[in-house]
Amino acid sequence: MTSTERAVNGRRYRLPRVPTVIVCIDGCEQDYVNQAVQAGVAPFFASLAAQGTVLAGDCAMPSFTNPNNLSIVTGVPPSVHGICGNYFFDPEQQAEVLMNDARYLRAPTVLAALAEAGSRVAVVTAKDKLRALLGHGLKGVCFSAEKADEATQAGHGIDDVLRRVGRPLPSVYSADLSEFVFAAGEMLLRTQRPDLMYLSTTDYIQHKFAPGTEGANAFYAMMDRYLAAMDGLGAVIGVTADHGMNAKTDALGRPNIVFLQDELDTAHPGATRVLLPITDPYVVHHGALGSYATVYLQDAARLAPVAASLRALPGVDEVLTRAEAAARFELPADRIGDLVVLAHRLTVLGTSASRHDLSGLTVPLRSHGGLSEQRVPLLFNRRLLPDDAARLRNFDVLHLALNRLA
Amino acid sequence: MTSTERAVNGRRYRLPRVPTVIVCIDGCEQDYVNQAVQAGVAPFFASLAAQGTVLAGDCAMPSFTNPNNLSIVTGVPPSVHGICGNYFFDPEQQAEVLMNDARYLRAPTVLAALAEAGSRVAVVTAKDKLRALLGHGLKGVCFSAEKADEATQAGHGIDDVLRRVGRPLPSVYSADLSEFVFAAGEMLLRTQRPDLMYLSTTDYIQHKFAPGTEGANAFYAMMDRYLAAMDGLGAVIGVTADHGMNAKTDALGRPNIVFLQDELDTAHPGATRVLLPITDPYVVHHGALGSYATVYLQDAARLAPVAASLRALPGVDEVLTRAEAAARFELPADRIGDLVVLAHRLTVLGTSASRHDLSGLTVPLRSHGGLSEQRVPLLFNRRLLPDDAARLRNFDVLHLALNRLA
């Protein structure tokens, strides 16, 4: 290994020689970009087909935000970095807890390793929930749009963010939250010119608007303008997503929900505990409803009958044992339940009807979590050398941007 | 059985006492209706949640037009009626031929049976390719919008159609073709008041426009106006679809195509013939590209290695043997190949690159054929009694509209 590269989690990364911006567009089903391009509002994205590189890859499963952001910044699947949901059952605490704390992270990030090697690194996230994980061990700038007003030099590597960005603190449920991430990224590129920057948005808009609709196109037009500006500042840009997004409703927009805990409590009283790893403190826009769930059993002997009950439910596509799910989806076996359940593209999985507050669903539910949201874009504003990977992943984005520039 | 019902293909149907209109909206992914309702342009559809019945069902596989239109009018899957594609390899002729001819139909239609029992029946299709199959054995009105100018009393049960409808002959590649179907339906309801009417549109618009975009919303607004008018005329209305529709492109709108014949010719020269049952005379808007293909082998001994090659292709989701596909999808085993191939939601299957003319794809490809397009709406403008079917199908629509009115 030369002094210009570093090995992280078994992969080698060249230190950036040109400012490199990696963007994770939360919930970026590929058709959002396509439809915005078709509508003529995304000229920068449109330019990538001719002047850059347009690929697609599979995200880590479950197709949720935290596992995938961590895969992107570590370059490895959840089986290695340990973050397999927003929420999990912690066997040490014997409790269901958020997986936001960096002590759950089992691998260093490429960001931290390159900063250690001398690269100047900056991270801006939309929601604060990701900041601690993404910034773990990082010597550099790391703050969230949500709590931009609380950033300090000592804690976040920067202060006075609102003034520097020139925008007020955005609401956590808004398109503004993501725009603030881009505005901060452009400000950093202009003022500090970090060698490596990671920008991660929120999917508030994608949960509400279908590809090609006005609300979605306006959001992608906004991102297109900032990306064009950063391109104009000479940055190498790589864009991917944590997961896609699909409608989860019937023809009248009513959610298709299978309440797994209710179903299992009827068929197998007291035998199971259903856990939804999508659960986090920000559930207003999706009601904690996604297309992936995990089920813990009180008694392992009940595995087969419980699995059979789950498989018989309309809207359930696949039921895997812990070992099967860990192997197929590269998940940490000690952090998932005895069974993993995947829903149909148009269906979400709930626990009990009484435990989901759907009052925030003011528009028809769109969500993610399943295999139907695994395919995401991998877009670059530079030509890349061909890569011999049989299957590209969203967490190859750092490798591609740093190692495969033509 | 009483004189007010008839048994057809093992199911009983009540003769309609109120004019009953069954509509098959070609390519009606449920989100088209939902987005049009959200946009406020589909008040009739919107009213169904409160005043009618909103269900969803699975279409017959492959999720193509002909197999599903025939399933809808026969009430049974392709294993019974025999139509498993637009196109197939006819072992008798030892040639690849269109399956448009009524001699391929193995079951009577409910339409013909109820006409025989005294109901006045009318059928209007968009494209003429379906007319012969849908009208097989039917004593009543049956014509296509495409060839409305050629309809005669002797051949179609009606003449002078353009004048009666008051619209010019529509282009086969247009939204007008489907509007003509609805306009003709409303005209028939006003002038002849048939007891049972089947209206079948074309998916030209859905192949071009995503749910919620202007082109799609305008099309659903048009249908909404005609459905409201027919509702106002007192008809019982049941709406379903032959299949859904998905984007089949990357983020820049370029089609994701796996050319199966090219791949197999490299791995197994001369061993296979790939057939695409989506093929029909009207391929401009989808280039004969769908997410379902069938593969014939010269030598049955090559089944396992050919299947393994297919399974290894990115974008291929499932490979089934003839027996597996016939059992799982209720297909006629003698009319499919040795293997059935299903593509990923965002991928289509081609034969050889040189055999597909993509020049007609003026907008990013949207298509169907796979399991990802199986879920379709089942909408009624009346309350229905609960049905005990574990799994509703689009070809339950006649049963529901005729037998389950509350």
Residue range A175-215, pLDDT digits in tens: 999 999 999 999 999 999 999 999 999 999 999 999 999 99
Test B54 with A250 for CB contact under 8 angstroms: yes
Residue located via tokens 């000479």: A234
Q: Judge: B375–A345 Cβ closer than 8 Å, yes or no.
A: yes
Give tens-digit pLDDT for A8-27: 999 999 999 999 999 999 99
Best to test chain B binding among A32, A249, A250, A316 (most B CBs inside 10 Å): A250
Percentage of residues of chain A with pLDDT beyond 70 = 98
- Measured in whole angstroms, the distance separating CA A306 from the mean position of its chain's CA atoms is 30
Question: pLDDT value at position A310?
Answer: 98
Please report which confidence band the pLDDT of residue A283 belongs to, taking 50, 70 and 90 as the band edges.
low
Amino acid at A6: R
- The string of pLDDT tens digits covering residues A304-347 is 999 999 999 999 999 999 999 999 999 999 999 999 999 999 99
Q: How confident is the model at residue A386 (pLDDT cuts 50, 70, 90)?
A: confident
CB < 8 Å to B34, chain A: 247, 249-253, 364
Q: Which of B45, B250, B328, B376 to mutate to test the interface with A (most CBs of A within 10 A)?
A: B250
For B37, the closest of A37, A46, A252 (CB atoms) is A252
Chain A contact probe: residue of B252, B362, B371, B397 with most A CBs at under 10 A? B252
- Please indicate whether, in this complex, the C-beta atoms of A252 and B390 are within 8 angstroms of each other: no
A42-53 average pLDDT score: 97
Domain A257-365 is in which class?
A: alpha beta
State the pLDDT at residue B406.
87
Reported as a pLDDT band with limits 50, 70 and 90, residue A287 is: confident
Give the whole-angstrom CA distance, residue B143 versus residue B166. 16
CA-to-CA distance for A161 and A32, rounded, in angstroms? 30
DSSP state of A39: T
For residue B56, list chain A residues with Cβ-Cβ distance below 8 A.
250-251, 256, 346
CB contact under 8 A, A252 and B344: no
Measured between alpha carbons, how far is B27 from A305 in angstroms, rounded to an integer? 38
Check whether A156 has a pLDDT greater than 70.
yes
The residues that bridge with A376 in the sheet, in sequence order, are: A57
* CATH 3.30.1360.110 intervals, chain A: 257-365
d(CA A12, CA B363): 40
Q: Where in chain A is the domain with CATH 3.40.720.10?
A: 5-245+369-403
0.85 surpassed by complex ipTM: yes
Using a CB-CB cut-off of 8 Å, the residues of chain A touching B387 are none
Mean pLDDT of B108-130: 97
Q: For chain A, give the mean pLDDT.
A: 95
Query: Quick one: pLDDT band at residue B301, thresholds 50, 70, 90?
Result: very high
pLDDT at A315: 95
Strand partners, A124: A143, A199
pLDDT exceeds 80 at position B361: yes
Flag whether residue A389 sits within 8 Å of chain B, measured between CB atoms: no
Question: Which CATH number applies to B257-367: 3.40.228.10, 1.20.1730.10, 3.30.1360.110, 3.20.20.70?
Answer: 3.30.1360.110
DSSP β-bridge partners for residue B22: B198, B238
pLDDT score of B279: 84
Contact predicate A264/A75, CB 8 Å:
no
CB contact under 8 A, A31 and B211: no
In the A/B pair of chains, how many CB contacts fall below 8 A?
Answer: 116
Q: How far, CA to CA in Å, does B404 sit from each of A250, B12, B238, B338, B367? A: 21, 12, 11, 40, 33
Q: Distances from the Cα of A59 to the Cαs of A183, A369, B174, B259, B262, in angstroms?
A: 26, 10, 38, 24, 28
Residue B285 has pLDDT above 80, yes or no: no
Q: Is it the case that residue A3 has pLDDT exceeding 90?
A: no
Residue B54: the pLDDT is 97
- CB B56 to CB A213 under 8 A? no
Mean of pLDDT values over A218-239: 98
Smallest CA–CA separation between B269 and chain A, in Å?
23
How confident is residue B19, by pLDDT bands cut at 50, 70 and 90? Answer: very high
Peptide bond into B62 cis (omega under 30): yes
* Cα–Cα distance for residue pair A97/A109, rounded to 1 Å: 23
Q: What percent of chain B has pLDDT over 70?
A: 98
The answer to whether A377 faces chain B, any CB pair under 8 Å, is yes
**Which chain B residues are within 8 Å of A372, Cβ to Cβ?**
345, 372
**Chain A interface includes B379 (CB < 8 A):** yes
Choose, out of A249, A252, A367, A376, the residue to mutate when testing the contact with B (most B CBs < 10 Å). A252
Q: How confident is the model at residue B357 (pLDDT cuts 50, 70, 90)?
A: confident
- Give me the helices (H) in A85-174, please: 110-116, 131-134, 153-156, 161-165
> CB contact, 8 Å: A366 with chain B?
no
Express each pLDDT in B152-195 by its tens digit: 999 999 999 999 999 999 999 899 999 999 999 999 999 999 99
Please indicate whether, in this complex, the C-beta atoms of A375 and B249 are within 8 angstroms of each other: no
Chain B CB within 8 Å of residue A379 CB: yes
pLDDT surpassing 90 at residue A223: yes
- Which residue, among B208, B198, B270, B276, has the nearest Cα to B235 in the 3D structure? B198
Query: What is the predicted pLDDT for the residue at A388?
Result: 78
Contacts of A399 (CB under 8 A, 6+ apart): A11, A13, A75
Tell how strand B121-125 and strand B196-200 pair up. parallel
Nearest to A48 among B54, B252, B314 (CB): B252
pLDDT classification of B358: cutoffs 50, 70, 90: confident
**The token pair that represents A36 in the structure block:** 């915005």
Contact A30 B346 (CB under 8 A): yes
Do B375 and A344 count as a contact with CB atoms less than 8 A apart? yes
pLDDT of A362: 87
Residue A282 has pLDDT above 70, yes or no: no
**Is the Cβ of A363 closer than 8 Å to some Cβ of chain B?**
yes
Q: Which two tokens stand for residue B92?
A: 């008798």
Q: pLDDT value at position A288?
A: 87
Tell me the average pLDDT across A238-253: 98
Report how far apart, in Å, the C-alpha atoms of B171 and of each of A141, B125, B132 are.
60, 14, 20
Q: What is the structure's pLDDT at A361?
A: 85
Which pLDDT band holds residue A284 (cuts at 50, 70, 90)?
A: low
**Residue B153, Ramachandran bin (φ over 0: left; ψ between -120 and 50: alpha; else beta):** alpha
Calculate mean pLDDT across residues A77-101: 91
Identify the DSSP state of B48: H
CB of B49 less than 8 A from some CB of A: yes
Residues 318 through 357 of chain A touching chain B, CB cutoff 8 Å: 344-346
Token code pair at residue B210 = 């995503």
pLDDT at A86 exceeding the cut of 80: yes
Whole-angstrom Cα distance, residue A110 to residue A119? 11
pLDDT tens by residue, B46-77 = 999 999 999 999 999 999 999 999 999 999 99
Per CB-CB distance under 8 Å, the chain B contacts of A209 are: 212
What is the pLDDT at residue A92? 84
Confirm or reject contact between B50 and chain A (CB < 8 A): no
User: Cα torsion for B99, B110, B62, B180, to the nearest 10°?
Assistant: 80
Q: Which of A376, A368, A87 is nearest to A207 (CA)?
A: A368
Of A252, A377, A379, nearest to B34 by CB-CB distance is: A252
**Please, which residues bridge with residue A95 across strands?**
A90
- b/e code A277-290 from CB counts within 10 Å (16+ = b): bbbbebbbbbbbbb
Written out in words, the top-level CATH class of the domain with range A5-245+369-403 is alpha beta
The C-alpha atoms of residue B47 and residue A69 are separated, in whole angstroms, by: 42
> Are the Cβ atoms of A34 and B346 closer than 8 angstroms?
no
Q: Which residues of B touch A56 (CB under 8 A)?
A: 250-251, 256, 346
Q: What is the mean pLDDT of residues B231-260?
A: 98
Exposure string over B180-201, b if 16+ CB within 10 A, otherwise e? bbbbbbbbbbeebebbbbbbbb
Is residue A280's pLDDT more than 80? no
Q: What is the mean pLDDT of residues B371-385?
A: 97
Helices (H) and strands (E) in chain B, counts: 15, 19
Which chain A positions have a beta carbon within 8 Å of B28's beta carbon? 251
Q: Which residue(s) pair with B341 in the sheet?
A: B293, B319
Nearest 5°: phi and psi at A403? -105, -20
Query: Is pLDDT above 70 for B1?
Result: no
CB-closest option in A35, A314, A372 to B213: A35
Residue A186 and residue A181: Cα distance in Å, rounded?
9
